[in-house]
Amino acid sequence: MGRADVVVGAQWGDEGKGKWVHRMARDYKLVVRFQGGNNAGHTVYHHGQKFVLHHLPSAVLYPQVACALTAGMVINPVVLKQECHALEKQVQLSAVRLWISAAAHVITPWHIRLDRGREQEQAKPIGTTRRGIGPAYSTRALRCGLRMADYIDAKRCAGWITQMQGEPHFAVSQREDRQLWEDFARAADFLRPYVCAAETRVRQKIRAGDAVLCEGAQGTLLDINCGTYPYVTSSSTLAAAALCGVGFAPRACGKVYGIAKAYLTRVGNGPFPSELHGDTAAQLRQRGAEFGATTQRARRIGWLDCVALRYAQELNGFDGLVLNKLDILAGLPAVKLCVAYQHPEQGRLLEFPCDYRILEECQPVWEEYEGWTAAIPTQGRIAALPPAALAFVHRIENLAECTVIGVGTGIAAEDFLVR
Ligand code: GDP
């Protein structure tokens, strides 16, 4: 029996998962997405060219690797079609290597309208990407969603549209989003050849002993169950979600890799104890190009939160952690780590509080380290880091109780130091 390895974000997303998956994917026969939709925005550089991918795993850039979008996902057909078109010059897509689950739920123009409406009406919006992701998962939970298999069957899709007429804002969407609905209908013809029982094929690959990699989107702290609810995404983002999103047994799970940044960012609202304001935040945002790949929103910036990282380690059990963007910290006179929280009533906390209100009241407890002025080497071994940078990495391993197996040192695909 084969195994499926899993890669997930260890923070609030945007950790650079795409780049590590792109690096690893060469060694796999199949790369699988298992949750989320086009709220993901992976930026990867392939042969020096920049690609931003939303549904497709970055492995799609390797012609020898198959890609599966499985049942745990929600898919915007129009965006997926555009994504495929944008890749046309670079890669040959065929039904042999792109599998879209018949069971994945479909994001319609109505779901997008609902998402926008809700975010605008809320006094304290979640800060979603407004791509209709949450509403699509909601109709899935209500058992009235549209699945890919129904979407690509014109008769069944029309039946679903008729059935939904009485739903809030549905008729308005059909009237006012006419162009979007036309594009939506048209994308079905393009996607139809790729729609299949993707999960069965994934399991067959696992059974056959082929190397399979499951690629998470967003990050652990945005998990709907264990994240900072309600400021979370609408799916489960943990490594365990791969098992449910695809459908394979726990014993078929191989290695689990976590991706983090050497500092922390968050898009959208919600508590962020180690958040920074002022010059250092602006400097890191600029140097790290911390603007959303999907929404262009400026990301909130903070020092690395090791309480949250240890929580991510506990939830996912990382066999290895990749620490990206260490290069962005080079040249700072000092760097900090959040090592505990101080709560006004509960005192010093070493465990990540699940109640976002408690987390909001927490103050960070810092450890400060001298910075490293020398630029860090971009390739080679982690041990070749300047002593101050190496000490920083070791302290993170120690606090988060995980092993750093890779350090990201630049935007190029090969810019990694390894253990
Ligand atoms: P993802 O959604 O987790 O894949 O992350 P994003 O695509 O939002 O963010 C990753 C961005 O950071 C991309 O532009 C990467 O090229 C860049 N990046 C990733 N790792 C590193 C690194 O180690 N150093 C630098 N400077 N940039 C990096």
Which domains can be identified in the chain, with CATH numbers?
A: 260-418 (3.90.170.10)
Hey, is 265 helix, strand or coil?
Answer: strand
Ligand 1: centre distance to CA 11 (Å): 13
Identify the pLDDT of residue 122.
84
For the range 248-251, what are the long-range contacts, defined as Cβ-Cβ under 8 Å and sequence gap of 24 or more?
Answer: 248/4, 248/202, 248/203, 248/206, 251/1
Ligand 1: centre distance to CA 126 (Å): 24
Contact assessment for residue 391 and residue 369, using Cβ atoms and an 8 Å cutoff: yes
Ligand 1: centre distance to CA 207 (Å): 33
Ligand 1: centre distance to CA 43 (Å): 6
Ligand 1: centre distance to CA 326 (Å): 11
**Bridge pairing between strands 42-46 and 363-370:** unpaired
The 10 Å Cβ neighbour count of residue 255 is 16
CA distances from 248 to 30, 66, 370 (A): 15, 18, 46
CA distances from 81 to 50, 87, 192, 298, 352 (A): 19, 10, 11, 27, 40
Q: What is the DSSP letter of 243?
A: I
For 347, residues 6+ apart whose C-beta sits below 8 A from its C-beta are none
For 281, residues 6+ apart whose C-beta sits below 8 A from its C-beta are 275, 300, 301, 302
CA distances from 385 to 296, 382, 410 (A): 32, 6, 14
Ligand 1 atom nearest 408 alpha carbon: 23
Identify the pLDDT of residue 56.
95
Residue nearest to atom 10 of ligand 1 (CA): 16
Residue nearest to atom 8 of ligand 1 (CA): 14
**325 CB within 6 A, ligand 1:** yes
**353 CB within 6 A, ligand 1:** no
Ligand 1 atom nearest 259 alpha carbon: 3
Q: 143: burial class by Cβ within 10 Å (0-12, 13-18, 19+)?
A: exposed
**225 CB within 6 A, ligand 1:** no
Closest CA to 310 of 397, 233, 375, 369: 397
**57 CB within 6 A, ligand 1:** no
Identify the pLDDT of residue 46.
86
Ligand 1 atom nearest 18 alpha carbon: 4
Q: Tell me the catalytic residues.
A: 14, 42
- Between CA 377 and CA 187 the distance in angstroms is 46
- Between CA 242 and CA 220 the distance in angstroms is 13
Q: Write the Ramachandran bin of 192: left for phi over 0, alpha for psi from -120 to 50, otherwise beta.
A: alpha
**261 CB within 6 A, ligand 1:** no
Identify the pLDDT of residue 47.
85
**215 CB within 6 A, ligand 1:** no
The 10 Å Cβ neighbour count of residue 126 is 20
Ligand 1: centre distance to CA 382 (Å): 18
Radius of gyration of the chain (CA): 21
- Between CA 6 and CA 215 the distance in angstroms is 6
Ligand 1 atom nearest 44 alpha carbon: 16
318 token code pair: 């990382």
Residue nearest to atom 13 of ligand 1 (CA): 43
Complete DSSP assignment for 29-67: SEEEE-SB-TT--EEEEETTEEEEESSS-GGGGSTTSEE
Residue to mutate (ligand 1; options 263, 324, 385; most atoms within 8 A of CB): 324
Ligand 1 atom nearest 416 alpha carbon: 23
Q: Which residues of the chain have pLDDT under 70?
A: 294
Residue nearest to atom 19 of ligand 1 (CA): 16
Ligand 1 atom nearest 324 alpha carbon: 23
Helix (H) or strand (E) holding 133: helix 133-141
The 10 Å Cβ neighbour count of residue 266 is 25
Ligand 1: centre distance to CA 301 (Å): 14
